[in-house]
Amino acid sequence: MRGLLLDAGRLTFSADLPEPRLDEGSTTVRVVRAGICATDLALARGYMGFRGIPGHEFVGVALDGPLCGKRVVGEINAACGACPACRAGLGRHCPQRTVLGILAHGGAFAERLRLPTENLHAVPDTIGDDAATFTEPTAAAFEIVEQLAPAPGTSCLVVGDGKLGLLCAQVLAAHGTDVTLAGRHPDRCALIPQPVAFLERAFEAGSSPPTRRFALIVEATGNPEVLPRLFAVVEPRGTIVLKTTTERPTQLDLAPLVVDEVSLVGSRCGPFGPALDALANGRVEVEPMIEARYGLEEGSEAFEHAARPGALKVLLEP
């Protein structure tokens, strides 16, 4: 099988990778598209010591099982199904889980992958392959709505105008909140169907924070130095949502959280149903975010492109 292999932070192409093992209750998927995200780039730099086939944003065709022949996308956490977390419906937090392309589970940067059949979702015909590739990160953006259910009109600040930040801004704006996007690229507001305000370089080192405060702030930069700067612009009893992990630790003075009674919320994977609905009806538009396409044999070049400052989505096409 052709695909990309990560080992000790070194990415190589191989034409003879082992086929994914088909366990009971799992389905083999032929990968059609796969997207490179910030987590993949971090893994390539040695994050988590991952060894194997990376990649977790994909659309493909089921080769067996009850969805055989259908286009599918897949939730990335493969849970045990028997522990207390799984019985409570929290399989994404199963302590025995593997995670597609991230933790002890071969990923989507290959011709084929496998996932538990229950993780797979059929893709509506109204969603093209390119858009379907964005289902997993769009679901991650919807997790904010699922966790917090912000009321319409809530003042929201999304910090980071990369791929995930743009998705979070779209989802929150479509939900009816008052969204401001902070980043380095004002022109990216044109990629969001709903009107949003923009703050340019407001949280860069040495910059002065805006005077306005926000009830809900989403940190989507992946920069550990940004979070402490957000304390100055969150409303008392407001909420800061962390949507990214970082390879470097964050140093915080937590006193402002206590004084202003601010909630700090971690947010990771999210619901695929709302994400697919939003992609199908155009409430979230993703295809303008695609910047480049590469074949698997060009994996190193694709990763180099995706790592460029300001790069948007790079797709791999097996």
Distance CA 263, CA 218 (A): 12
**For residue 205, what pLDDT is reported?**
87
**Residue-level pLDDT at 134:** 98
CATH T-level topology, domain 3-134+286-316? Quinone Oxidoreductase; Chain A, domain 1 (3.90.180)
Domain with CATH 3.90.180.10 in the chain: 3-134+286-316
**Separation between Cα atoms, residue 22 and residue 58, nearest integer Å:** 19
- Cβ pair 285, 170 in contact under 8 A: yes
Q: Is residue 267 exposed (0-12), middle (13-18) or buried (19+ Cβ within 10 Å)?
A: buried
Structure confidence at residue 48 (pLDDT): 83
pTM comes to: 0.95
pLDDT value, residue 246 = 77
For the chain, residues with pLDDT lower than 50 are none
- The whole-number pLDDT of residue 47 equals 84
Q: List the structure tokens of 77.
A: 């956490």
Q: How confident is the model at residue 293, as a pLDDT?
A: 98
pLDDT (0 to 100) of residue 250? 85
| Residue range(s) in the chain whose domain bears CATH number 3.40.50.720 | 140-266
CATH number for the domain running over 140-266: 3.40.50.720
